[in-house]
A and B are shown apart, each in its own frame.
Chain A
Amino acid sequence: MDQDAGPVVRPYAMTQGRVAASGDFDLVAFVVATVPDLTPGVHLQPEHHAIVEAAWEPISVVELASQLDLSIGVVRVLLGDLRSAGLISLYEPPAAEQPHDVDVLKAVVNGLRAL
């Protein structure tokens, strides 16, 4: 009954209403934390801590959002904060317009055949 009314906290409340510019943080970009956990002095929210914890091993942006049950847009804003603070590294996928390497395509086909 209560959940029918929607989340108690509006989704973008945890970003203070900030919306990320799209195009940054591709869905399949990988995120890795640069520190094991956040020092208490750093003023960040629980969601920031959750991201750093989840990103100790490399994790894609889309899996991070799914795992933490946050929308993609919210995760991007929080990742932006963490990157500015130097707490995560981001690895974007190969440039979008660049044609995919034929050797990579062959590796994909071989990998799929082995399934």
Chain B
Amino acid sequence: MGSVRSEHSGSRIPVALKILIAGGFGVGKTTMVGSVSEIRPLQTEEILTGAEGADDLSGVEAKTTTTVTMDFGRITITDDLQLYLFGTPGQDRFWFLWDELSQGALGAVVLADTRRLADCFPSIDYFEQRGTPFVVAVNCFDTDHRFGPEAVSRALDLDPGVPVVLFDARDQKAARNVLIELVEYVARRQLASAGRR
């Protein structure tokens, strides 16, 4: 991978890869970003104005703006390589932001809570449609593992091969292992598709 140096300071310009952390509201996205990030999770904002949609705003006196906040964290792999983790905005009406986030992304982690599994359906649909590789990580807040990975995989009707892991989003090692699972899955897919060519 060709890293370059900036002209003046000689600092290397790293290459950054994006991983998306998706899932329903309150499932632990921010917690997971926080437990593996080397920096305190930061927030960034995108401000939406009426101009974003195709709605006809004529006659609307007070145009409203909405602020969407995204959490992100960073992991330095080497001097030349960094991982950025983005917690995706939870609300469905911000899908267009996901388009930008998933552009060029390495893959995604879809967080699931077995008490309300349906909350992660929209994320799974989205990544399946876009062909973005993802793993499903079941955030076990308590020790009560009522469902195993196979049951979750069946309930979500996942394609064979899509990894499902149980973990605790608060645990740094566990969260890291989920990322490893994702990257290894991406590599397997890549090798398989190269073999088919």
Contacts and interface: CB of A to CB of B under 8 A. Distances in A.
A100 B190 contact: yes
A99 B190 contact: yes
Nearest to B16: A28
A111 B84 CA distance: 14
Nearest to A75: B44
Contacts of B65: 11
B12 to A, nearest CB: 8
Interface stretch (A44-52, A57-65, A79-87): A57-65
Interface in B29-55: 36, 42-47, 49, 51
Interface residues of A, number: 46
A57 B43 CA distance: 21
B170 interface: no
A4 to B, nearest CB: 14
Interface residues of B, number: 52
B187 A106 contact: yes
A91 B4 contact: yes
B77 A111 contact: yes
Interface in B43-83: 43-47, 49, 51, 65, 67, 72, 74-78, 81-83
Contact of B184 (A26, A27, A36, A109): A109
Which of A97, A100, A101, A102 counts the most B-chain CB atoms under 10 A from its CB?
Answer: A100
A102 B190 contact: yes
B132 to A, nearest CB: 11
A56 B7 CA distance: 11
Contacts of B17: 28, 93, 100, 104, 108
Contacts of A40: none
A102 B1 CA distance: 11
B190 A105 contact: yes
B106 interface: yes
Contacts of A103: 1
Interface of A: 11-12, 19, 22-23, 26-28, 30, 32, 34, 36, 56-58, 60, 62-63, 65-66, 71-74, 89, 91, 93-97, 99-109, 111-113, 115
B11 A66 contact: no
B4 to A, nearest CB: 7
A39 B97 CA distance: 36
Question: Can you list the 9 inter-chain pairs with the closest CB atoms, starting with the nearest?
Answer: A111-B77, A96-B104, A28-B16, A105-B187, A32-B6, A66-B42, A71-B47, A71-B45, A66-B44
B13 A32 contact: yes
Interface stretch (B110-118, B143-151, B160-168, B175-183): B175-183
Contacts of A95: 104
Contact of B18 (A27, A30, A57, A109): A27
A93 B9 contact: no
B8 A111 contact: no
B78 A107 contact: yes
